[in-house]
Chain A
Amino acid sequence: MPIPSATAAARIRPSATAPELLRNFCIIAHIDHGKSTLADRMLQLTGVVDARAMRAQYLDRMDIERERGITIKSQAVRMPWELDGTPYALNMIDTPGHVDFTYEVSRSLAACEGAVLLVDAAQGIEAQTLANLYLALENDLQIIPVLNKIDLPAAQPEKYAEEIAGLVGGDPADVLKVSGKTGEGVEALLDRIVRTVPAPVGDADAPARAMIFDSVYDTYRGVVTYVRVVDGRLDPRERIVMMSTRATHELLEIGVISPEPVPTKGLGVGEVGYLITGVKDVRQSKVGDTVTNAAKPADQALGGYSDPKPMVFSGLYPIDGSDYPALRDALDKLKLNDAALNYEPETSVALGFGFRVGFLGLLHLEIVRERLEREFDLDLISTAPNVVYDVTLEDRTEVVVTNPSEFPAGKIREVREPMVKATILTPSEFVGTIMELCQTRRGDLQGMDYLSEDRVEMRYTLPLAEIVFDFFDHLKSRTRGYASLDYDTTGDQAADLVKVDILLQGEQVDAFSAIVHKDKAYAYGVSMTAKLKDLIPRQQFEVPIQAAIGSRIIARETIRAMRKDVLAKCYGGDISRKRKLLEKQKEGKKRMKTIGRVDVPQEAFIAALSSDGGGAKDAKDAKKK
């Protein structure tokens, strides 16, 4: 029940709450399974947000998050709750739900002792949820299984309670049933959190150690860092050290979120809150890093820190070349808030000046792209996403290729490509079709388990390159949308890969170069040349479009020469009208990119790069389920 009295509330004052009165938990859920709505109900029930101030998905800060119903950045909210006459402070740590952010998820989980496993009672558990559940078990979190949306007519709580119980152990009857929409069962859930999630344990007298599980750039405050204190305490105005970089900062402000930031007199063992030091770049406050006291530093950092590593690359180019400086500024600003984003200037013959941008995965790519377009009002072209290749030449020189057009031309000894472990959950009727799909994507079946009578978990290793293209689209369309996918990287493998170039009238169009498996080079060449033939308007001369591996042509199409481009009439001496048409045509030509002598409209590049359901489209569907 909500905290009844001020005396009770005083016992759980931030910075002065005994660890045994703290409960730190997160919610693990698939996108659309109702995590944000459930969080809203908790905020209301615990009284930290009144009905008047309530807005849907209160915790999702960015517009994109609220609109898409997904949570990009985790946050922590402190909520009071009383059980059996004892007041407790619950810290709800919101985790990103998507596999692109696995590292961030793992750090969020490391800040908790318990996890609510939230599953849509009409849909059952999804592959990504399963992946995060594994992570939670790895972190020894107490799992509270919950079925959501029991108000839906299509809900099958009994069936899915059994499925969940089968996965986490325990009795199906212990699976809580709630409705974030109506609020049904949410009080019982809060009670269950207090009862079953262990209180944090730490050494209050040891040097301070706090783990950073998120850091967010705020225009007015600079970087806001979210921490979980493990040992000791942090106090305002003291100097702190980031243990990975040894950088010291002054703690300008420390506090908790409830649900707006409230400064406190510090944070003690087990507490979760935020720090402000005045730094302007999230790279100075890295997720996973350990914060300690400068005067009395800890010897050893908390484990688990690693630098985010981009897995997928794409070239981003402004459609209007004069927007290049604006794109650079926009990326610089996004970087303040996204430690995983990295980019380098790149020049493309076809697309002009742009950036090669590294992303954690496809959703990350799509979110960055959308933010650039929406928040910075930029029109962009992105090249087909690709992975990183390690190429060893005959002379043993090693080259790391993040852009297909930079694939070395000389004698190649070996090419290694990144691999993923993929988990696919599917109704059993689609097992055959999925095996077929994975086989064409060079997948290797590692195992298969029945989660329930008609739901199967299939485990594959696949080249990452095979799923960044249009794998997810195909998976969805072949299973009528029922299958779900999760993947995580797992080393690399040597493979027979070649670079296919596309030539327009003999000139290489760098934006269309692709690294593909030898067996698929021909198909790529044929489809790309055919596509461009339809997209590029006829010119005054015949234009051959070729696909080539090195100097060997593997596919060819021809755009026939244009035969007529003349207005026959001059309307009763209306020269002005004719001249204006001409001026319009000239303007149109300016918006074209010229490859050799061939004028290619910007739209042709966009269409050629975006049809085929490239990665960006995949990502869009991926979060919708």
Chain B
Amino acid sequence: MSPALPEGDPAPADGALPASATVGADARRFGVYLHVPFCAVRCGYCDFNTYTATELGGGASLAAYATTALAEIALADRVLRAADLPTRPVSTVFVGGGTPTLLPVDDLARLLDGVRTTWGLAPGAEVTTEANPDSVTPDGLQRLAAAGFTRVSFGMQSAVPHVLATLERTHDPARIPDVVRWARDAGLRVSLDLIYGTPGESLDDWRRSVEVALSTGVDHVSAYALVVEAGTRMAVQVRRGELTLPDEDDQATKYELVDDLLTDAGLAWYEVSNWARTPQDASRHNLGYWRGDDWWGVGPGAHSHVGGVRWWNVKHPRAYADRLGRGLSPAAGREVVDAATARLERVMLGVRIAEGLPVADLAPPARQAVAGLVADGLVDPRAALGADGGERRVLLTRRGRLLADAVVRALVD
């Protein structure tokens, strides 16, 4: 089961956008997210929209997938033109899943070509694909780079066999240094994804995973706390008492540990769960989510945002292929964000990044609340005072990052 889609308004059959979506579009970057809804094996903790049956049929199969997704890119182009949005070259592309590298490299290349011929790629565009360490080869990585990919994000999760086993990840941790080297040899920038707080993971296990990741010389790390979502196999195991979740103190300690180790190795946080060696190593695509940029999400269950309109596609690959086959928008629902909601989103997303959230963006009562957050050690006092030279902004301290949701609640009450 994948996460339920939000409740929203019905989306128009042709996907048409309201006039409000064009306001200020010139100032926003445009990205494309491509969702590949296939995996060889479904992991017990995963609640993403992905399928292991490769033969879903009706244009939904793995083999037909690229063609179907290209149809949505064509539709996207029509919709954006019809809404009078300026044609913006794509500044970031992110292929996620699922396991994008289950698709033949040629299919990934075709999809990227579709984006390129439709909108063009901005100079220095960031083009990332997620990859399972199991399913890449030196040759495949070379061909991805040749097709225009610039970055690869490996789902490493852990270096410890018993942790990987609990997560039901099938890859051999010993391959990690190899795949990182192959990718770098191909000229790709590399990120490693880690998960902490898996049942049975000790603090030393976690330290070892971070150290192995750093030993590859990687320039970007994402570290996510394991969240057991309702409806996953792991949730059932936890309910039955077969697995015991670590408490929040354990997760906090592990967050502090990874932050220490990465900082010592010369990486810096730029978003609550993301660290990069230099600002150029940060994932610009992900930053687009936090900054409120525009992006079109292609694929089953993919989410899009254009100028305050958020929508999401139907989840099942067959329903998705069917809609596109009939020339209809695959959107299942959408919401047009009103001014109050937009401000809430701005705070919710903006405080999570190291750029900080300008105090000027807060409602007047929330500006008062900043003082209390400073007093509690959750917000950096220098940034809040503008004493570091920039404009006054809300920048989380490390304790504040761990309590980011509480900070957001304090700033939107």
Q: Which A positions have Cβ atoms within 8 angstroms of B?
A: 540-541, 562-580, 582-583, 585-586, 589
Contact = CB atoms under 8 A, between A and B. Distances in A.
Contacts of A567: 227, 405
Nearest to A585: B409
Nearest to B289: A573
Closest 7 CB pairs of A and B: A563-B252, A576-B6, A566-B404, A564-B252, A568-B224, A573-B303, A564-B248
B405 A582 contact: yes
A569 B273 CA distance: 8
Contacts, number: 105
Interface residues on B, range: 35 or more
Contacts of B30: none
B405 A585 contact: yes
Interface string B401-412: 111111011001
Interface stretch (B149-157, B159-167, B317-325, B344-352): B344-352
B101 interface: no
B345 A579 contact: yes
B402 A566 contact: yes
B286 to A, nearest CB: 8
A582 B403 contact: no
Given A564-B248, A571-B48, A582 B96 contact: no
A577 B344 CA distance: 13
Nearest to A574: B303
Given A568-B224, A571-B3, A582 B273 contact: no
Contacts of A583: 344
B297 A580 contact: no
Given A573-B297, A577-B6, 15 more contacts: A564-B248, A564-B251, A566-B403, A567-B405, A568-B227, A571-B3, A571-B48, A573-B289, A573-B305, A574-B6, A575-B289, A579-B344, A579-B345, A582-B344, A582-B348
A390 B301 CA distance: 70
8 contacts: A564-B255, A564-B402, A565-B404, A565-B405, A566-B402, A573-B302, A580-B6, A582-B409
A600 to B, nearest CB: 16
B35 A572 contact: yes
B379 to A, nearest CB: 12
A566 B401 contact: yes
Given A562-B403, A582-B409, A585-B409, A572 B335 contact: no
B408 A574 contact: no
B225 A568 contact: yes
A579 B312 contact: no
Interface string B228-270: 0000000000000000000011011101000000000000000
Interface in B322-347: 335, 341, 344-345
A580 to B, nearest CB: 6
A104 to B, nearest CB: 52
Given A566-B272, A569-B273, A585-B409, A575 B403 contact: no
B251 A574 contact: no
Contacts of A574: 3, 6, 303, 312
A564 B409 contact: no
Given A582-B344, A582-B408, A573 B376 contact: no
Contacts of B8: 576
A589 B223 CA distance: 29
Contacts of B401: 566
B38 interface: no
B310 A576 contact: yes
Contact of A572 (B6, B48, B413): B48
B378 interface: yes
A579 B348 CA distance: 8
A82 B35 CA distance: 93
B295 interface: yes
Contacts of A582: 344, 348, 405, 408-409, 412
B33 interface: yes
Nearest to B47: A571
Interface string B99-136: 00000000000000000000000000000000000000
A539 to B, nearest CB: 9
B409 A540 contact: no
Nearest to B378: A540
A93 to B, nearest CB: 58
Given A569-B227, A582-B344, A589 B404 contact: no
Contacts of B403: 540, 562-566
